[in-house]
Copies of this chain bind each other. A is one copy, B any other.
Amino acid sequence: MSPPADGAAFTPTARSQVRRRPQRARYDEAAVYKVLDAGIMAHVGYVIDGQPFVTPTAYWREGRKLYWHGAAASRMLATVADGAPACVTVSFLDGFIVGRSGIMHSLNYRSVMAFGRARLVDDPAEKRAAMASFIDRLYAGRALKLRPTTDTELRQIALVEMEIEEASAKVRDSGVGDLPADEGWPAWCGVFPVETRIGAALPQPGMGTGGAPTPDLAPYREGARLDDTLATAAKAYGLPVST
């Protein structure tokens, strides 16, 4: 479970050190990026006047940086763009663990907590390029095929970039734990996996070209796992893929 010898890692401090079940924790970039690259929705934590807020939002990663965006007037974006400390958490539910005693019931999951301070990306060219790359990393080559984004539209959104200062990944991906006290107890035990997949495409009636989705949308085929879809899409865009 240790990182590869040549792998970079985040250095945990009191903030990011996993205390509970440290055997499930990893701090190497490979483990952290694998979880981050499997998702599209993060939960961004920030503080206003001592009150914590957790806002779900779409995100993407480039190297050690995370990006997310929203309406220019967003309170969340205004708060984090001001350099306030933020915590970006990404998690996936992977299964129900059904044990023979209450304490052996659990969940399988993958999660990352990433800490840092964000900045507003307000240079129009940089912002335009970043937003196009967000489209392209999901739907390779699509940005150039779209009706071009106007300056007004670009001003309507705010984009923030957060360099990850510290991060930890925590994963549980095993079966029911073995407890001597449970031995021989006659209850079914095992795992019910939870899987998130793409459903059947729904073309928008009366719009677009109709017909089958274009090649940029190929990874979004019915039945594909969401994490595989995002990895395939990123690979089509030419990104190094975390697997």
Q: Determine the chain B residues whose CB is within 8 A of the CB of A96 once the complex forms.
A: 40, 138, 220
Q: Which residues of B contact A189 (CB under 8 A)?
A: 203-204, 207-208
Given A113-B53, A186-B209, A91:B41 Cβ within 8 A: yes
Question: A146 with B188: in contact, given A85-B52, A202-B193 (CB under 8 Å)?
Answer: no
Write the nearest CB–CB distance from A131 to chain B, whole angstroms: 6
Shortest A122–chain B CB gap in Å is: 17
A62 within 8 A of B: no
Instruction: Determine how many copies of this chain the complex contains.
Output: 2
Check if A102 is an interface residue, CB within 8 A of chain B: yes
Query: Which residues of chain B come closer than 8 Å to A209, judged between CB atoms?
Result: 186-188
Residues in B neighbouring A20, C-beta threshold 8 A: 70-71, 73-74
Which residues from B are CB-within-8-Å of A181?
147, 150
Chain A 169-217 interface residues, beta-carbon cutoff 8 Å to B: 175-176, 178, 181-182, 185-205, 207-214, 217
12 examples of A-B residue contacts, CB within 8 angstroms: A47-B47, A53-B113, A54-B113, A56-B91, A103-B149, A146-B185, A147-B187, A175-B202, A187-B208, A188-B214, A190-B203, A191-B202
- Which of A's residues lie within 8 Å of B, judged by CB? 15, 19-21, 40-41, 43-47, 50-56, 58, 70-71, 73-75, 85-89, 91, 93, 95-96, 98-103, 105, 107, 109, 111, 113, 115, 131-132, 135, 138-139, 142-143, 145-150, 153, 156-157, 175-176, 178, 181-182, 185-205, 207-214, 217, 220, 226
